[in-house]
Amino acid sequence: MMTTPPPNTESMEGEVLSARSIVRSYGNSPALRGVSISAARGDVLAITGPSGSGKSTLLLCLAGILLPDAGEIRFAGRRIDTESEAARSALRRHEFGVLFQFGQVVPELTAQENVALPLLLSGVRRRPAMTAARSWLDRFGVAQLADQRPPQMSGGQAQRVALARALVTEPQVLFADEPTGALDSLAGEDVLGQLTGVAREAGTTVLLVTHDAKVAAYADREIVLRDGMVEGGAVSAAGSAGAMSVGQHRIYT
């Protein structure tokens, strides 16, 4: 008896990213045990849980940086976990933005050059790339740092530069792994407010990994991981239109 294939996720309530039954281990240590989630276009989704619960591993799999041992990941209805490294790298240049805890800005480059880098790597000519970079620095209130290098910046300033770099290509999905973990509370709140505000304005889907409930409060929805499995999901009062799948359950707003 033939089994009907699962529907294209892009056609389901505008879902842009989905993972189905994701399994990932490091040697004999399981990190993810059959995780299934999906996010709609424009969702700001927090992935929370204690240290070692699989949060960062899930984010890296969704971004195509790590490959799952089993399961499938789809972006805009296109299965990406079976694609080549070159194809997945192209996705991260054009469709995905990635922001890590320490920003990972290039210390030898100025702020403007750091932000322009993804555009230059994608073949954009230097002048328009630098113009776009300056615009994004201005958008995050750090245009005055355009000619400075990261060692001359505070942690909050460097993270704003990294955020501008992650969004300069206007990605459909932004992956942020503990983006305020290295910042003090005031700088962290400022960066989070800018991140979520700009993303909502642009309709960018955000997957935000954190263990901090205050950070998760900036999201529309929350998925809790524990021991590599989805423990449950919650929808904040500020939930946006769309849908999210948690395990076998769909939550609508």
Q: Please list, in sequence order, all residues whose beta carbon lies within 8 angstroms of the beta carbon of residue 100, skipping any fewer than 6 positions away.
A: 162, 177, 178, 179
Q: Quick one: pLDDT at residue 13?
A: 52
Task: For the chain, 253 residues long, give each residue's pLDDT as a single digit of tens.
Answer: 333 334 333 334 578 999 999 999 999 999 999 999 999 999 999 999 998 999 999 999 999 999 999 999 999 999 999 999 999 999 998 999 999 877 689 999 999 999 999 999 999 999 999 999 999 999 888 999 999 999 999 988 998 899 999 999 999 999 999 888 878 888 888 889 888 988 888 899 999 999 888 899 999 999 999 999 998 633 333 344 333 434 333 332 2
Q: Quick one: pLDDT at residue 103?
A: 64
Q: Quick one: pLDDT at residue 180?
A: 84
Tokens 């702020």, located at residue: 111
Alpha carbon distance 243, 239 (integer Å): 10
Positive or negative: CA dihedral 26, 27, 33, 39: positive
Instruction: Provide the whole-model pTM.
Output: 0.83
Alpha carbon distance 9, 250 (integer Å): 13
Q: Which amino acid is at 85?
A: E
Alpha carbon distance 125, 88 (integer Å): 23
- E-strand ranges in 6-107 read 15-26, 29-40, 44-48, 70-75, 78-79, 96-99
> Beta partners for 234?
222
Q: Quick one: pLDDT at residue 179?
A: 87
Q: Which amino acid is at 110?
A: T
- Other beta carbons within 10 Å of 243: 17
DSSP 28: T
Burial of 196 (0-12, 13-18, 19+ CB in 10 A): buried
Q: Quick one: pLDDT at residue 232?
A: 60
Q: Annotate 85-141 with DSSP letters as a single string.
A: HHHHHHHHHHTEEEE-TTTT--TTS-HHHHHHHHHHHTT--HHHHHHHHHHHHHHTT
CB distance 15 to 243 below 8 Å: yes
Q: Which amino acid is at 186?
A: L
Q: Which helix (H) or strand (E) holds 161?
A: helix 155-167
Instruction: With H, G, I as helix, E, B as strand and everything else as coil, classify residue 29.
Output: strand
